[in-house]
Amino acid sequence: MNSNKLRESFLKFFEKNGHKIVASSSLIPDDPSVLLTTAGMQQFKRYFLGEPSPYGNKVVSCQQSFRTSDIDRIGDKTHLIFFEMLGNFSFGDYFKEGAIKLAFSFLFEELKLNKQECYFTVFKGDKDTPFDKESFSILKKLGVPESKIKKMCRKENFWGPTGLEGPCGPTVEIYYKELEIWNLVFNEYFRDKHGKLSPLEQKGVDTGLGLERLAKVIQNKPSIFETDLFEPIMREISGKNERAKRIISDHIKACTFLISEGILPSNKDRGYILRRLIRRIIGLEKILGLSNNFLIGLVPKVVEIYQDIYPEIKSKEAEIMTVIQNEGERFEKALVKGLKQFEKISLKGNISGIDAFHLYDTYGFPLELTIELAEQKDLKVDKQGFESAFKKHQQISRAGIEKKFGGIGKQAGDESIKLHTATHLLHQALRQILGEGVKQMGSDITAERLRFDFSHSKKMTETEIKKVETLVNQKIKQDLKIKKEEVSYEKAIKSGALAFFKNKYPNKVNVYSIGGFSKEICGGPHIKRTSELGVFRIIKEESSGAGIRRIRAVLE
Ligand code: SER
């Protein structure tokens, strides 16, 4: 069965069993304590806590998910950074017995998997939470021999919460031929910010079944990389280093989906994750001896696999390629310098941890690249030394950040709020002067200036720049009021609010309007009235890649 059919059969099976199909939410979650969506339950977190669900009490989804926690394991047969998670959820409807029976019915009746090849794990209990006797008995009642039910500790069989606080509980995990395929989470507790557990009034079920792993099982492949979710990408990559090929295939998918969400490479948060992934693939490209532009050629392969399911990546294909190409070109320069540095270092013999870390930190060399280059010279790299240099560096920079921002954080924050509002004005002004083709491609705000990337095919003329600046200043002088409304995503779009990550917003969104001039879906915060902004000045207009312009501006 191909993966599109598999995805559909899961959704349809649960629909037939009274669940409402809900589309994947954005990879950018509405929970500010989490950088990226890591699980299907994330968009439903509040319904586990008792808020009524607009979809009813039983839902099913196929969620785009992203887990950097597994980054070191990518390259084996079954781990990924970006993956799709199939899941069924109950908010106060069925609980352990219902969930386990549905899972059995889908796997063993619908997909006809051989139950004899499966084993199961349950939570064995500890000082804080009791043994999950109920799940153990249900499994036995369903004919599973005790020898195939393993009792495991908290680390293995207790899930959640995502972020700082939320629902969590014991799990039952289903393994097929030693591979964990399905995690059934029974949310019966709430964990607060301090780690304290209290029973939830309404019990819930959250399950996660990795589509790629299920495809491996159903398509009977040695690894997920031979399934139809990867084969078209893997086929394009030549070379003998299987691990490098797998990492490239995983990361290029991850990058494609991140960029389709409007994320651009940068030095912080999500942008930083994207930057590291692109740079890691480029380093691996060198290992495999592939050409420079090879990478962007893989984007159409990712699009080919997913275009029927996620049409937004098809519509953004060109943008995605441009972003990757630009980042690649920027990195190339550092790479050339780094290679020279490597030559120097390698004259001393084996590569020390500090030197490997220096190559990583200053030139962006992934550790694999250093190892590979060293191997070609019959040299070794001190991996442990690299890890400890890495950890030490992290501690130092954390302490540095705290010291640097401890005293001025508030002030810097206020200033940047003004620049955030100015960014909305600039965006709308650009659309009025240059046309509605202008779309936000990225935004970065510091205490001193704003930086705004947008789609536009030509350099702006002096007159256009002046016109935009004047229009923004006019709106500042008009002392427009900034209004925030919380509405459904559909309503926001109908009302004409600008949104950039099509189809991927949470159900409820904030819309900020500035007088009748600008209206955008945005997380905020903003100032109250435009007259607080002072004078707006564009200080630079430049290219930021093919079809993308960049403006830097300040408030004076
Ligand atoms: N939240 C659980 C997981 O991510 C089940 O969906 O594994």
Cα-to-centroid distance, 93 and ligand 1 (Å): 18
Q: Which token pair is 264?
A: 């651009």
With a CB cutoff of 8 Å and minimum separation 6, the contacts of 246 are: 74, 75, 76, 223, 225, 234
Residue 173, ligand 1, Cβ within 6 A: no
Least reliable range by pLDDT among 114-123, 309-318, 489-498: 489-498
Of 91, 242, 117, 253, whose CA–CA distance to 181 is shortest?
A: 117
Tally Cβ neighbours within 10 Å of residue 308.
9
pLDDT at 395: 63
The pLDDT score that the predictor gives to residue 237 is: 92
Q: What confidence tens digit (pLDDT) does each residue in 304-314 have?
A: 999 999 998 99
Round to whole Å and give the CA distance between 47 and 90. 9
Distance from the alpha carbon of residue 87 to the mean position of ligand 1, in angstroms: 8
Query: What percentage of the chain exceeds 70 in pLDDT?
Result: 95
More confidently predicted of 499 and 401: 499
Given the DSSP bridges, would you call strands 20-22 and 58-66 parallel, antiparallel or unpaired? parallel
pLDDT class for 268, splitting at 50, 70, 90?
Answer: confident
Does the pLDDT value for residue 393 go beyond 80? no
| Residues 296/300/305/310 CA torsion (nearest 10 deg) | 100
Closest ligand 1 atom number to CA of residue 184: 5
410-555: same fold as 3-218?
no
93 lines ligand 1 (CB under 6 A): no
> Which tokens sit at 355?
């030197």
pLDDT confidence tier of residue 502, bands split at 50, 70 and 90: very low
241 residue type, one letter? N
Q: Which fold has domain 410-555?
A: Threonyl-tRNA Synthetase; Chain A, domain 2 (3.30.980)
Smallest CA separation from ligand 1 atom 6, residue: 208
pLDDT, one tens digit per residue, over 161-201 is 887 788 999 999 999 999 999 999 999 999 988 889 999 99
How many Å lie between the centroid of ligand 1 and the Cα of residue 214? 15
Q: What is the dihedral of CA 121, 122, 127, 129, to 10 degrees?
A: 150
Listed by start position, the domains of the chain span 3-218, 230-406, 410-555
517 CA → ligand 1 middle, Å:
43
**Ligand 1 pocket, residue 208 CB under 6 Å:** yes
State the pLDDT at residue 396. Answer: 60
Q: Is 135 in the pocket of ligand 1 (CB under 6 A)?
A: no
pLDDT number for residue 292 = 65
Q: Which residue has the higher pLDDT, 397 or 179?
A: 179
Quote the Cα angle for 66-67-70, to 5°: 145
List of residues 6+ apart from 249 with CB closer than 8 A: 225, 230, 233, 234, 237, 298
Closest ligand 1 atom, residue 41 Cα? 1
Q: What is the pLDDT of residue 10?
A: 98
Query: Do residues 274 and 27 lie in contact, with contact meaning Cβ atoms separated by under 8 Å?
Result: no
Q: Is residue 210 lining ligand 1, measured as CB closer than 6 Å?
A: no
Torsion sign across C-alpha atoms 489, 490, 493, 497: negative
User: Measured in whole angstroms, how far is the alpha carbon of residue 540 from the centre of its chain?
Assistant: 31
* Cα–Cα dist 390/397, whole Å: 11
CATH topology of domain 3-218: BirA Bifunctional Protein; domain 2 (3.30.930)
- Determine whether the shortest distance from the Cβ of 44 to ligand 1 is under 6 A: no
Q: Bin 509: left if φ > 0, else alpha if -120 < ψ < 50, else beta.
A: beta
Q: How far is the CA of 131 from the centre of ligand 1 (A)?
A: 20
**Nearest CA to 258 among 310, 215, 309?**
310
Task: With beta carbons less than 8 A apart as the criterion, state whether 363 and 344 touch.
Answer: no
* pLDDT beyond 60 at 210: yes
Tens-digit pLDDT profile for residues 25-55: 999 988 777 889 999 999 999 999 999 999 9
Q: How far is Cα 17 from Cα 88, in angstroms, rounded to an integer?
A: 10
pLDDT level of residue 405 (50, 70, 90 thresholds): very low
Confidence of residue 403 (pLDDT cuts 50, 70, 90): very low
- What digits encode the pLDDT tens for the residues 429-483? 999 999 988 888 888 888 788 999 998 888 999 999 999 999 999 999 999 999 9
Query: Phi then psi for 208, rounded to 5 degrees?
Result: -140, 120
Pocket test for ligand 1, best of 14, 60, 180, 185 (most atoms within 8 A of CB): 185
